[in-house]
Amino acid sequence: MRAVVQRVKYAKVSVDEKIIGQIDKGIMLLLGIEENDEVKDLDYMCDKTINLRIFEDEDGKMNKSLIDVEGSILVISQFTLYGDARKGRRPSFITAADPSKAIPLYEKFIEKIKESGIKTEVGEFGADMQVELLNDGPVTILLDSKKTF
C-alpha cells in the first residue's frame, strides 16, 4: 500500500459537483492499493497514519499525532499512486490492485480508522472526484507498506 499524507486545515471531495466528504483540521490521505497487498499492509498503514506525529505541539515541533489533536481524516482511493512512468510517456498501472481486491481492502482501511475513534470522511471508489484542500505547512509525507525499514 502507498499513501500520500497531507496535513490540512481543511479538505473536501466532490463527485458531480456535490460534496460527499469534508473535514477541517486533520489529514487528507490518498490511498493506493497494490495487487499483492494483504491485511498486514493495511494494519501497518492504519497504525502509521493515525500515529504519525506531524502536528505541532506547544513548542511548534511536530510531536503530535492525529489522535493527539483530535483531528479528522479524509480518505481518497488513488490507484494512480502505482503509476509507473519509467518507460515511455504514458504511465502503466499494472501493479495497482484490481477493484475486486482493492475495494474490500479500502473499505477495511476505512473501518479500522473509524474504530480508532477518528472522524472519517471518504471519497467514492472509482469515481471521477474533485479534491480540494489547504495543505498546512505544507506537510506532505509519503508512506509505503513495503518500505517499513
**Pairing mode of beta strands 62-64, 55-56:** antiparallel
Q: In terms of Cα–Cα distance, which of 119, 109, 53 is closest to 78?
A: 109
Q: What is the CA radius of gyration of the chain?
A: 15
Q: Tell the residue number behind the cell numbers 460534496, with chain if given.
A: 19
Annotation says 140 is catalytic: no
Q: Which of 80, 95, 140, 148 is catalytic?
A: 80
How many other β-carbons are positioned within 10 Å of the β-carbon of residue 104? 13
Q: 143 to each of 41, 68, 81, how far by Cα in Å? A: 11, 20, 11
Measured in residues, the chain has a length of 149
Catalytic residue annotation: 80
